[in-house]
Amino acid sequence: MGYFFYYFTKFADHFILVYSCLIFATYVILSTYSGLDIINYIRKNSFIDYRTILTAPTAPSISILAPAYNEEATIVDNIRSLLNIHYVNFEVIIINDGSKDKTMQLMIEAYDLEPVPYAFDQKIDCKPIRAVYKSRIPSLTKLTVVDKVNGGKADALNSGINVSKYDYFAAIDVDCVLEYEALLKMVKPFMEQTDKERVIAVGGVVRIANSCKVQDGKIVEVNLPKDFLPRAQVLEYIRAFLMGRMAWSKLNGLILISGAFGMFDKTIAIDSGGYNHKTVGEDMELVIRMRRLMEEQKIKYKVVYLPDPLCWTEAPASFKILGRQRNRWTRGTAETLWFHKNLIFNPRYRFLGMVSMPYWLIFEWLAPIIESLAFVYLIVMAFLGILNIELFITLFFVIYTFAIMYSTSAILFEELSYHQYKKKRDIIRLLMTALIEPVLIHPMTVYYAIRGNLDLLTGVRNWGDMQRKGFAKKKP
């Protein structure tokens, strides 16, 4: 038993060290790669006139799909914002996913909607559609509202795909605020594709809108969130979006496009079977399935990621809501990895199978589990009186200083690229947040991830209520 314990502790010590070093290394490599690519992207696009797309005969038409569930607080303003998007050929499809509040009634009243006979092919499975509405107001022909039986976000998006007219669709959270040129920027990669390589999906950076001033569905003043929790998420989002996904896109290994805003080739999405109803990580699952289809059909393709801030969303402002969100993200990741387990380390799927999927398994899904186990291990060692306190403290500071260094790099990325937070004190506040976040927010996110995994094991399938304050209420 003594020998076993000795070798176990040796193994655990080395495993934790190697795993931490690998995580550090991947973060450094990915962020360096992202940085170089962002510089290239900014240079490439600095003198591009996106208005060219507005008059181009070759510009694609876009269907914007926005599922809505119990959104009575903001739905009318949100639709107005979507209808004001700067693009030429597009339709806005709002899918009321069986809301229990007055969402549908408010839409009918505000936009003078009436049910219309609407013929469509049910190319993807979805819950029954009660009615399709169009506005009586002549200037609102772009708006279509689908009223359906509740089936979740994935099901609502599938209904939207079935009803949509155009070859590309943008899936968007109805409460997001889009940048003025967001759609033009998202469309460009599709226009740049040639016969050599097909673009199957495009994602963009999602930014946090808490404390920002929103007027008529547009961000008119960008502010750093006043509250600590959303501010910590600003750092988290910059790290994830600017320092991670950009590199994955460049390596053509991106498997996650945020459900808040992404654009897809409709034919491939339909051929892949549409959104999966059986997971709460439907955004990631669809991208993997689309990629899988392309790999199996041996078609050259890519998933593009844009570093521009395209979409603004309200981040959870309380630990309760943050917990629900992270719990759901963890369950979504785990479910998706489970659905596509045969891709992991499968050379047939090239980069997707050999790098992207294993990375998500080892460094995204497993990371909080290993971190928690390491924590428990430390407590046990301390309890047994054999914890090397010197090693523990120095290791803690290595991790802590690395976390601050990584967040400071994120602030530098933001400063050198899109420079959204212009006030002098914003930088200091972000740096202060970087000092506190690793010891206050990070342990909580690890805890929520563990809860997510436990919930998954116990069969919890719900989305988790995401109460938001709404931008409209914040107007003076």
Q: Which stretch binds another protein (CB under 8 A): 237-245, 334-342, 376-384, 388-396?
A: 388-396
Q: Say if CB 127 and CB 277 are below 8 A apart.
A: no
Pick between residue 43 and residue 298 the one whose CB is nearest to another protein: 43
Q: Say if CB 388 and CB 375 are below 8 A apart.
A: no
List the x/- string, 60-99, binding to another protein by CB under 8 A.
x---------------------------------------
Would strands 90-97 and 143-148 be described as parallel, antiparallel, or unpaired? parallel
Residue among 1, 2, 3, 43 that touches another protein (CB under 8 A): 43
Contact status: 378 vs another protein (CB under 8 A): no
Q: Which stretch binds another protein (CB under 8 A): 46-54, 174-182, 233-241, 295-303?
A: 46-54
List the x/- string, 399-438, binding to another protein by CB under 8 A.
--xx-xx--xx-xx--xx--x----x--x---x-------
Backbone angles phi and psi of 298, in degrees to 5: 55, 40
Residue among 29, 36, 56, 376 that touches another protein (CB under 8 A): 56
Residue among 2, 47, 100, 459 that touches another protein (CB under 8 A): 47
Contact status: 344 vs another protein (CB under 8 A): no
Pick between residue 193 and residue 223 the one whose CB is nearest to another protein: 193
The span from the CA of 245 to the CA of 203, in Å, is 9
Contact status: 52 vs another protein (CB under 8 A): yes
Tokens at residue 141, please?
A: 């022909």
Residue among 101, 112, 192, 216 that touches another protein (CB under 8 A): 192
Helix (H, G, I), strand (E, B) or coil at 97: strand
Please name every residue paired with 88 in a beta bridge, in sequence order, or none if there are none. none
Q: Say if CB 212 and CB 119 are below 8 A apart.
A: no
Pick between residue 138 and residue 476 the one whose CB is nearest to another protein: 138
What letters, b where the CB count within 10 A reaches 16 and e where it falls short, cover 96-115? Answer: bbbbeeebbebbbeebebee
Residue 116 Cβ vs another protein, minimum distance, rounded to whole Å = 6
Read off the DSSP letter of residue 128.
Answer: P
Residue 157 Cβ vs another protein, minimum distance, rounded to whole Å = 20
CA angle 323, 325, 329 (to 5 degrees): 115
Residue 35 Cβ vs another protein, minimum distance, rounded to whole Å = 12
Residue among 3, 4, 58, 298 that touches another protein (CB under 8 A): 58
Pick between residue 88 and residue 384 the one whose CB is nearest to another protein: 88
Residue 196 Cβ vs another protein, minimum distance, rounded to whole Å = 7
Would strands 218-221 and 62-68 be described as parallel, antiparallel, or unpaired? unpaired
| Distance set, CA 8 to CA 21, 23, 368, 369 (Å) | 20, 22, 21, 18
CA angle 108, 111, 114 (to 5 degrees): 50
Pick between residue 30 and residue 472 the one whose CB is nearest to another protein: 30
The span from the CA of 247 to the CA of 30, in Å, is 6
Pick between residue 173 and residue 426 the one whose CB is nearest to another protein: 426
Q: How many residues comprise the chain?
A: 476
Tokens at residue 241, please?
A: 């979006």
Nearest one of 127, 60, 135, 65 to 93, comparing CA atoms: 65
Pick between residue 3 and residue 47 the one whose CB is nearest to another protein: 47
Region 117-146 residues binding another protein, contact defined as CB under 8 A: 117-121, 134-135, 141
The span from the CA of 464 to the CA of 153, in Å, is 12
Residue 58 Cβ vs another protein, minimum distance, rounded to whole Å = 4
Please report, as ranges, the residues that interact with another protein according to CB under 8 A.
43-44, 46-47, 49, 52-53, 55-60, 116-121, 134-135, 141, 188, 190-196, 389-391, 393-395, 397-398, 401-402, 404-405, 408-409, 411-412, 415-416, 419, 424, 427, 431
